[in-house]
Amino acid sequence: MTRSAVLVTNAGSSSLKYQLLDGPEKLLSGLVERIGEPGGDPDHASALRRVLAELPPDVTVQAVGHRVVHGGEAFREATLITLEVLEIIAALADLAPLHNPPAVQGIRAALVALPGVPNVAVFDTAFHATLPPHAYLYALPYALYTKEGIRRYGFHGTSHAYVSRRAEALLGGVDKLVTLHLGNGASAAAVLRGVSIDTSMGLTPLEGLVMGTRSGDLDPGAVLRLGEIYGLEETSRLLNKDSGLKGLSGVSNDLRDVRAAATERARLALSVMTYRLIKQIGAYAAALNGLDALVFTGGAGENDAQLRADVIAGLGFLGFELDPAANAVRGGERRITRAGSKPALVIPTDEEGEIARQTRAALGL
């Protein structure tokens, strides 16, 4: 008996991540690297053909769901890819120069390799398309928004969408929720009755929380000063690649390495990161006019018990009290606050599963 499955792809500049999903069941997953480099596949089309050759013989690809980082204001939901849609995604490369061009390459490869199979774009920005103007506008000349599209868009949308929906199911409904996607990249979202009303990343993924190598929020005057000293290209590299935990600690962008180092600079980096997280949650409690629950997800959010404990220790004024034994448990969905406390949950994210779900929904499957 032939099974129908959704192929989920995430194309990077020299890589192609993929998963094959039949409902919640993962049939295949992997990563093709060194695309376009010596010893690797010459292009994404060649890499995808190699992936397709690995598919189980009893599986038919019924659709391909593509992760696309930036949908701008053009796309508010998962969208069936046509030539016109592909042209718009390519044109949005100015907003995501490192991410949208590889996605376009991956889409084109899939269209050629699987003729007649529908392809769907699932956008990181789509979950945050519900932000109201007072949350997404910057206090810049308005024409920079209308003509150049400079505004807050937000990212990690598939992760925030998945864990907010799971939190609602686990809690039997929740009105005012903050979701924290914490990994090398990190973002927070304020979710009101399932709808994103604010998020910490902005025009690009550089804004917001302290991350592995990204600075997060910074005085624009500091950016201007850095530009004067180093030039724009070097300043961009510094803020995106050499800042955050890596820059502050002098150790690594990996939270595990920074915690293990136990140097004064490492402790300072952890303090800055945690302080900013607590501030962000407090700000979103104000934006939501209260807070009913909190969700941790992402590599650090799911696995670093000390980070969760430190964050919740700063949220007593909002009614959160840690259950240390529950917090120490590893793996799976779980509540980590005491009975009588407001719930804080750990929910492992499933971005690929969410992309597959949205792909099926867009096609009515």
pLDDT digits (tens, 9 = 90+) for 58-94: 999 999 999 999 999 999 999 999 999 999 999 998 8
Q: Is residue 99 within 8 Å of residue 205, measured between CB atoms?
A: no
CA distance 70 to 104: 11
Q: What is the pLDDT, as a whole number, of residue 248? A: 98
With a CB cutoff of 8 Å and minimum separation 6, the contacts of 12 are 102
Q: What is the pLDDT, as a whole number, of residue 229? A: 98
End-to-end alpha carbon distance in the chain: 19
DSSP line for 92-149: GGGT-TTTHHHHHHHHHHHHHHSTT--EEEEETTGGGGG--HHHH--SS-HHHHHTT-
Q: Determine what percent of the chain falls in helix, strand and coil, rounding each to the nearest 5.
A: 45, 20, 35
Q: Is residue 20 within 8 Å of residue 52, measured between CB atoms?
A: no
CA distance 347 to 334: 7
Domains of the chain (ranges plus CATH)? 3-123 (3.30.420.40), 171-351 (3.30.420.40)
Q: What is the pLDDT, as a whole number, of residue 77? A: 96
CA distance 114 to 175: 42
Tens digit of pLDDT at every position of the chain (365 positions) = 789 999 999 988 788 899 999 998 999 999 988 888 888 889 888 888 899 888 888 999 999 999 999 999 999 999 999 999 999 999 998 888 878 988 999 999 999 999 999 999 999 999 999 999 999 999 999 999 999 999 999 999 999 999 999 999 999 999 999 999 999 999 999 999 999 999 999 999 999 999 999 999 999 999 999 999 999 999 999 999 999 999 999 999 999 999 999 899 999 999 999 999 999 999 999 999 999 999 999 999 999 999 999 999 999 999 999 999 999 999 999 999 999 999 999 999 999 999 999 999 999 98
Q: What is the pLDDT, as a whole number, of residue 98? A: 76
What strand order describes the sheet that includes 119-123? 25-32, 16-22, 3-11, 59-68, 119-123, 79-80
CA-wise closest residue to 14 among 120, 97, 98, 123 = 98
Buried-exposed string 95-123: b where 16+ CB fall within 10 A, e elsewhere = bbeebbbbbbbbbbbbbebbeeebbbbbb
State the catalytic residue, choosing from 41, 124, 198, 304.
124
- Which helix (H) or strand (E) covers residue 68, if one does? strand 59-68
Active site residue 124: yes
CA distance 65 to 6: 7
